[in-house]
């Protein structure tokens, strides 16, 4: 935890190596509004060894699950997750792009049924990771810029 | 392989042997589709035909197929179809329709509509065309026509001509032809040539194809000349359109280097892209192709309703 500029937390989750400038989007995707009551610290454009700049988010008193965290993989593909208990990192993992993105991003095809008034969430399926190919399960369109259509 | 209860949404969802099974059943349906034989295979069954945009050809051939099989049809189309579209979600409309019918065919202006309908409906849903997306029964009737006229699909050369960029029939057809081992020549001016996302998919399927602007080359090499309409609104100005439309017109003269058994298909309706004098040549198979919509749809209806395996 030495590399973090902001003070350590006792229990909770530290999301490190977030693409610089994306921390607020990360919070939005995770559904963290600040009204939940727990302490959230955000550091943006911090200098880092690996990248020139990065963002860091620390959430005190809440351990995020991998499924929740993986939602941020599209905008922060290099993020790492540290689960902290009693000031120690007890678990550390990298975000992974999930197999299915449900309700995370809209289909880029404006004429797609998922963009009309229907009682469904957009569902995008990851068909390959390298290169990244993501397809709408409704209209079948392969998405070119999913990160621009985040909900 | 069982089709009972299955939705027919995208051609890619059908395996190669399933496509051939549908074509085989369709072959047996031809005498019934012609009215030479009668059957009551689907007696007591009801088809709900939901047309949120007009498509006379698709609707009539589905309805003819159902009637020929002894079943009956409920139709929501035209004005009724459009007013439904405004007032109610598609999800609700299909849940209403499934209460009255055993199978649903859906035509809708939005891509992905059939997939959504299938999600909300426990009865089989057949995609009758969704936006510029999929139209699997059109692809199946195209494949049926090629197989029944030429005896095989694999190894044949199919020249796709016209609006390859926006034409959904050529998108689905090209993906199916690639999987079934046909070679393709994409004949179109650059502005309306096959879009990259289709070419990417064709490449991932290992398809054999080439791109050309030269209709003459397509005609010379083709076993099948698949002609589609070039629409005026795709072009920045009238002059450009007239030039392109003129050079992609199939006439008696342009056919002089064609192979003897070459067949010409067209999803219809046509405007000027095939000259009327071509109709009386042995190459012209587009009216046979239109008729083939009926036996192919008969096959699909009997199979998804579990009457034929
Ligand atoms: Zn879509």
Q: Residue B84 — pLDDT band, cuts 50, 70, 90? A: low
Q: Are residues B148 and B119 in the same domain?
A: no
Q: Residue A6 — pLDDT band, cuts 50, 70, 90? A: low
CA nearest to A128 within chain B: B204
Average pLDDT, integer, range B177-199:
94
Q: Are residues B153 and B258 in the same domain?
A: yes
In a domain, B119, yes or no: yes
pLDDT, tens only, A78-96: 899 999 999 999 999 899 8
Q: Are residues B185 and B284 in the same domain?
A: yes
Q: Are residues B207 and B176 in the same domain?
A: yes
Q: Are residues B278 and B207 in the same domain?
A: yes
* Position B210 pLDDT exceeds 50: yes
Q: Are residues B95 and B83 in the same domain?
A: yes
Question: What is the extent of the structural domain holding B98?
Answer: 11-134+292-304
Task: Indicate if B86 belongs to the active site.
Answer: yes
- Supply the pTM of this predicted model: 0.87
Q: Which residues of A touch B113 (CB under 8 A)?
A: 113
In a domain, B113, yes or no: yes
Residues A111, B131: C-beta atoms closer than 8 Å? yes
Q: Where are the beta strands (DSSP E) in chain B?
A: 46-51, 72-76, 103-108, 125-130, 157-161, 183-187, 208-212, 224-227, 263-265
ipTM for this model: 0.87
Q: Are residues B98 and B146 in the same domain?
A: no
Q: What residues contact residue B164 under an 8 Å CB cut-off, 6+ apart?
A: B170, B186, B188, B192, B193, B194, B195, B228
Tell me the percentage of chain B whose pLDDT exceeds 70: 97
Q: Are residues B90 and B143 in the same domain?
A: no
Backbone angles phi, psi at B149, to 5 degrees: -85, -35
Q: Are residues B91 and B232 in the same domain?
A: no
How far apart CA B237 and CA A121 sit, in angstroms, is 40
Average pLDDT, integer, range B22-31:
98
In a domain, B217, yes or no: yes
Q: Are residues B140 and B128 in the same domain?
A: no
Contact B287, B260 (CB under 8 A): no
Cis bond upstream, residue B269 (ω within 30): yes
Number of folded domains that form chain B: 2
Contact A142, A134 (CB under 8 A): yes
Which DSSP category does B74 fall into? E
CA of B113 to the centre of ligand 1 (A): 10
In a domain, B82, yes or no: yes
In a domain, B213, yes or no: yes
- The rounded Cα B170 to chain-centroid distance in angstroms is 9
User: Mean pLDDT for chain B?
Assistant: 93
In a domain, B3, yes or no: no
Residues B91, A118: C-beta atoms closer than 8 Å? yes
Residues A117, B89: C-beta atoms closer than 8 Å? yes
The pLDDT of residue B105 is 97
| Domains delineated in chain A | 12-94 (3.30.70.140), 100-149 (2.30.30.20)
Average pLDDT, integer, range B207-219:
97
Which DSSP category does B194 fall into? P
Average pLDDT, integer, range A106-117:
95
Q: Which residues of B touch A141 (CB under 8 A)?
A: 111, 197
Distance from CA of B93 to the nearest CA of A (A): 11
* Position B88 pLDDT exceeds 90: no
In a domain, B2, yes or no: no
* Position B80 pLDDT exceeds 90: no
Q: Decide if B133 touches A, using CB distance below 8 A.
A: yes
Strands A132-136 and A123-129: antiparallel
Task: Indicate if B297 belongs to the active site.
Answer: no
Residues A142, B133: C-beta atoms closer than 8 Å? no
CATH number for the domain harbouring residue B43: 3.40.50.1370
Cis bond upstream, residue A131 (ω within 30): yes
How far apart CA B189 and CA B176 sit, in angstroms, is 23
Residue in the structure block whose two tokens are 């990259």: B196
Task: Indicate if B135 belongs to the active site.
Answer: yes
Q: Residue A8 — pLDDT band, cuts 50, 70, 90? A: confident
Q: Are residues B178 and B279 in the same domain?
A: yes
CA of A117 to the centre of ligand 1 (A): 13
CA nearest to B200 within chain A: A142
Residue in the structure block whose two tokens are 């009668």: B38
The pLDDT of residue A1 is 46
The three-state secondary structure class of B39 is coil
Nearest to B230 by CA among B214, B246, B213: B246
Q: Are residues B125 and B189 in the same domain?
A: no
The pLDDT of residue B111 is 94
Average pLDDT, integer, range B175-190:
96
Of A112, A117, A142, the CB nearest to B111: A112
> Which of B110, B135, B172 best tests the A interface by mutation, with the highest count of A CBs <10 A?
B110
pLDDT, tens only, B233-271: 878 888 888 888 888 999 999 999 999 999 999 999 888
Q: What residues contact residue B127 under an 8 Å CB cut-off, 6+ apart?
A: B7, B8, B9, B10, B105, B106, B114, B134, B135, B136, B137
User: Mean pLDDT for chain A?
Assistant: 88
In a domain, B5, yes or no: no
Q: Decide if B7 touches A, using CB distance below 8 A.
A: no
The number of residues making up chain A comes to 151
């Amino acid at each position: 935890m030495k590399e973090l500029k902001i003070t350590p937390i006792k229990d909770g989750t530290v999301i490190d190596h977030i693409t610089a400038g994306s921390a607020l989007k990360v919070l939005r995707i995770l559904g963290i509004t600040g009204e939940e009551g727990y302490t959230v610290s955000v550091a943006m454009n911090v200098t880092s060894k690996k990248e020139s700049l990065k963002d860091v988010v620390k959430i005190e008193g809440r351990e995020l699950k991998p499924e929740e965290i993986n939602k941020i993989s599209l905008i922060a593909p290099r993020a790492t997750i540290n689960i902290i208990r009693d000031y120690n990192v007890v678990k550390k993992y990298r975000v992974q792009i999930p197999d299915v993105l449900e309700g995370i991003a809209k289909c880029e095809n404006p004429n797609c049924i998922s963009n009309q008034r229907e009682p469904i969430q957009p569902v995008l399926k990851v068909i390959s990771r390298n290169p990244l190919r993501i397809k709408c399960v409704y209209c079948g369109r392969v998405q070119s810029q999913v990160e621009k259509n985040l909900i | 392989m069982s089709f009972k209860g299955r939705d027919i949404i995208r051609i890619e969802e059908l395996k190669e042997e399933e496509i051939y099974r549908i074509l085989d059943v369709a072959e047996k349906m031809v005498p019934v589709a012609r009215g030479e034989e009668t059957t009551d295979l689907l007696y007591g069954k009801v088809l709900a035909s939901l047309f949120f945009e007009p498509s006379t050809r698709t609707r009539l051939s589905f309805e003819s197929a159902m009637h020929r099989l002894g079943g009956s049809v409920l139709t929501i189309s035209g004005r009724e179809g459009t007013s439904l579209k405004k007032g109610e979600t598609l999800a609700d409309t299909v849940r209403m329709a499934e209460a009255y019918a055993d199978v649903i065919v859906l035509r809708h202006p939005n891509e992905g509509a059939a997939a959504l309908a299938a999600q909300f409906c426990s009865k089989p849903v057949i995609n009758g065309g969704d936006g510029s997306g999929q139209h699997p029964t059109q692809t199946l009737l195209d494949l049926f026509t090629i197989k029944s006229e030429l005896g095989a699909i694999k190894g044949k050369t199919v020249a796709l001509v016209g609006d390859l960029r926006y034409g959904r029939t050529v998108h689905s057809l090209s993906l199916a032809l690639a999987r079934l081992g046909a070679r393709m020549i994409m004949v179109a001016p650059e502005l309306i040539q096959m879009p990259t996302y289709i070419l990417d998919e064709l490449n991932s399927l290992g398809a054999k194809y080439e791109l050309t602007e030269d209709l003459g080359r397509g005609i010379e090499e083709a076993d099948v000349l698949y002609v589609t309409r070039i629409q005026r609104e795709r072009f920045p100005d009238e002059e450009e359109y007239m030039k392109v439309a003129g050079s992609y017109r199939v006439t008696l003269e342009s056919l002089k280097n064609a192979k003897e058994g070459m067949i010409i298909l067209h999803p219809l309706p046509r405007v000027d892209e095939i000259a009327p004098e071509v109709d009386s040549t042995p190459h012209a198979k587009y009216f046979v192709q239109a008729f083939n919509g009926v036996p192919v749809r008969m096959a699909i209806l009997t199979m998804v309703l579990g009457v034929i395996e």
